[in-house]
Amino acid sequence: MAREAKKNDFTQINALIELINDIYGTEKMVLKAGKLEALSLIRSRKPEQQLLGLQRLIFENPTLKDLTPEKQVPSVIEEMKEVLASLLARRSLEESIEHKIKERIEERHEEYMQEIKRQVIKEVSGVENPQTLKKYAQMEIMYAQNLSRSALELLRPAVLEEIVGQKKAVKALISKLASPHPPHVILYGPPGVGKTTAARLALREVKKLKRSPFAANAPFVEVDGTTLRWDPREIANPLIGSVHDPIYQGARRDLVDGGVPEPKLGLVSEAHGGILFIDEIGEMDLSLQSKLLKVLEDKKVAFDSAYYDSNDSQVPKYIKMLFEKGAPADFVLIGATTRSPDSLSPALRSRCSAVYFEPLTPAEIEDIVKAAAQRLKIGIDPESARLISRYTNEGRQAVNLLVDAYGRVLYEKEMKGTAGRSCRITAKIMQEALQSNRLFPLSLNTDHSKSEQGRVMALGVYGFCGSVIEIEAVAFPQGSSGKGALRFNETAGTMARDSVFVAASVLRRLAGIDVQNYDLHLNVVGGGNIDGPSAGAAIFIAILSAVKDVPVRQDCAITGELSLRGQLKPVGGLTEKIYGARLAGIKKVVVPAENKDDIERRFPDMKIVPAHDVGDLIPHFFHGAALPGLFLKEAPCQC
C-alpha cells in the first residue's frame, strides 16, 4: 500500500510539472524556475527533490530547503493544487477579458475605418448627393428664366441730371459728401421723389473728385429700415453684428469643438469706408437707433461673450482681434424717411445733417412721364401726362401708371392683330388705367372765378405734402344783443377753436364787430384736424364775410397765424402749402410777410403776396369797395 501511495504521489508530481509547463510555457517555466533555484530540483529523478522544486516554483519561494516528509506529501500536493487552480481561474478570466477587449478594439477599428472611408468618399465626391444635385439643377433653370427687367429698374435715373425737381437737394447732398469730413445725412421728403436714387448716384459722383474722402472701391450698402429689428436677447443683429456662442447658436464646427464663440459682422462693418444707406430709417426701433448712434460715435462695434477666453490658445487671431479691438465701422450714414424729423431719435437726428427733398410739381411729374415714355420708345399724348400729374405727386407711381397704360396698349394691339406697330398712350387709355387703380385726383379743379359768402381757402400741410382746407362760416343776427351762440366742429382741434376766438377779438377791436350779436357757425369741410394756428387768418376772413354778408374771392388762398393785434405771424411748411394751392388750381396765395424769405421760386406761375396785418388782406379777398372804411383804426370800446 505504501508503495502504491508513493507511486501515486510521483504520478501527481509529474502531472503538476506538465500542468505548470502548459501554463507558463517551456521557456518561461525554465526562466522562472532558474530564478527560483528550482530548475535542477525539478529535473531530478527523485520525487522528494522534484516536490521541493515544485514548491519553490509554485509558491515562488527560493528559500525553501527542507524536503517534505513522506506523510505530508499528499497535503502539500493538495495545497499546490489549490494554488494552481486559483492561477488557472485567474488566467481564464484574463483570457476572457482580453478576448472581449480584442473584440471591442476590432469593432472600434471597423467603425474608425468606416468613418475614414466616408471622409475619403466625401472628399472625393464632395458634399453633393443625387438630391442636392437635383435641387441645384432646378435652381440653375430658375436663374436662367427671366421675365424682364422691372419697370422701375429700367426707368430709374442713371445720372444725377435725370433726377427731376431736386436740384437743390442733390447739390446739398453732394456738397456734404464731398467735404473732407463728410457728415452723416438724413434725407427728408415725400415718397417717390428720388431720395434713394440720389443717394446711390451721389457716391458715384463724389468718387470722381480729386480730393474725394471716399476710395474708388468704397462700398454702398443699402438696407430697408422696415426689415431691421432689434432682438433684446442679442441672438442676431444684422445691422450691428452679434456673437454666436459655440453651444446654442451654431458657430463654425471647428470653433464649436474648442468652445470658441464666433463674432458675426453686421452691415455697419460691411459699409466700412463707404456709405450705409438706410431707407425708411424712421421705421427703425428706437433702441436700434440708439445702438446705431453708439457705433457712429465709436466708429467700431464692440463684441462680448461669456464663452470668450483671452488666454485660450485655440482662439484664432482674427476672433481675438475682434473681441479686443472691435470690428471697424467707419462709414457715412445716409438715412431716408418720409416721416417728420420728430419721429426719429433726437440724439441720432442731432448728429446728422438734414437734406429736404421737395414735393414734385405737376409740371415735373409730366416731365418724368415724358422721359419715361422716351425710354420705353412709345408715344404719349400731352393730355395723358397731365392726367397722371393730377392723380399723383410721386415720380415712382407716375412711372408705374405709365407702364400700366403701356401694357394695356400692347394687349389691345395683340387682340386686334396689330402687334408690332408703334404704341401711343392716349388720354382714354390713361383714364382707364387710373380708374383700374382706384385713384382719385389730388385736388378737385373747381371754378375759382366766382366769389362766395363765408367761404375761404386755407392752406395746410400733412407730412411733406400741402393741401387746401375749405373753411366756411354762416352768421345769423341775434335779436337779443350779446346772446349769440358759436358752433364749431370739434374734430378741427383746439388750436383751430382758439383761432376762432382770436379772430372774434380782432374783429371787435379793429372793426367794432361783436360776434356775440350773431349765431355764428363755422365748419372745416371734410372734418380735417388742424393741429396749428396757421388757419387763423382764413377764419378771420370767413367770419368777416359771414357777418358783413360780403362774398369772398375764391381764386386766392391764405395761410398765417393771426395775433390779437391783427398781425399775421409766420408759419411753417410754406413750400408744401403753396404746392397744395397749385394742385387745387389756385394761382394766388397770401402769406405772412415774415415768411417772404421762405417763398419757394419753383412756382413761376403762382402769385405769392406777403401781408403784414389784416388790413393787407382786404384787397385780395373782397372785390373793390365791398368793405369801405372798415379798417384799420382801432374801434372804440363798446361798453
What whole-number distance in Å separates Cα of residue 495 and Cα of residue 533? 6
The burial class, CB within 10 Å (0-12 / 13-18 / 19+), for 236 is middle
Cell match 477666453: residue? 309
What's the burial of 97, exposed, middle or buried (CB within 10 Å: 0-12/13-18/19+)?
Answer: exposed
Structural element, H or E, at residue 588: strand 588-592
Query: What whole-number distance in Å separates Cα of residue 446 and Cα of residue 139?
Result: 57
Cα-Cα-Cα-Cα torsion 354, 355, 361, 366, nearest 10 degrees, comes to -140
361: left (phi over 0), alpha (psi -120 to 50) or beta: beta
Dist. CA 32–CA 57, nearest whole Å: 7
CA distance 392 to 243: 46
Closest to 505 measured CA to CA, from 590, 426, 452, 567: 567
Of the candidates 190, 187, 191, the residue with the CA atom closest to the CA atom of residue 169: 187
Show the 3-state SS of 55-75: HHHHHCCCCCCCCCCHHHHHH
Q: Which three cell numbers stand for residue 8?
A: 501515486
Q: State whether residue 170 is helix, strand or coil.
A: helix
Strand blocks (E) in 225-314: 241-244, 262-265, 275-279, 300-301
Per-residue DSSP letters for 535-558?
Answer: THHHHHHHHHHHHHT-EEESSEEE
Q: Among 235, 338, 332, which residue's Cα sits nearest to residue 283?
A: 338
Question: Which cell numbers hold the place of 143?
Answer: 436663374
Backbone angles phi, psi at 221, to 5 degrees: -100, 120
Is the N-terminal amide bond of 632 cis, ω within 30° of 0?
yes
Which residue is catalytic, options 577, 587, 588, 607? 577
Amino acid present at 596: K
Residue identified by cell 471716399 is 214
Question: What grid cell was written down for 189?
Answer: 421728403
The Cα angle at residue 618 between residues 614 and 623, in degrees rounded to 5: 170
- Which residues have CB under 8 Å from 3's CB, separation 6+? none
How many whole angstroms separate alpha carbon 449 and alpha carbon 636? 37
C-alpha to C-alpha distance for 158 and 156, rounded to whole angstroms: 6
3-state secondary structure of 370: helix
Active site residue 548: no
Q: Which of 242, 269, 534, 545 is catalytic?
A: 534
Contact at 8 Å (CB) between 506 and 540? Answer: yes
Helix (H, G, I), strand (E, B) or coil at 157: coil
Grid coordinates given for 517: 350779436
Active site residue 35: no
CA-to-CA distance for 151 and 372, rounded, in angstroms?
Answer: 10
Amino acid at position 255, single letter: L
Active site residues: 534, 577
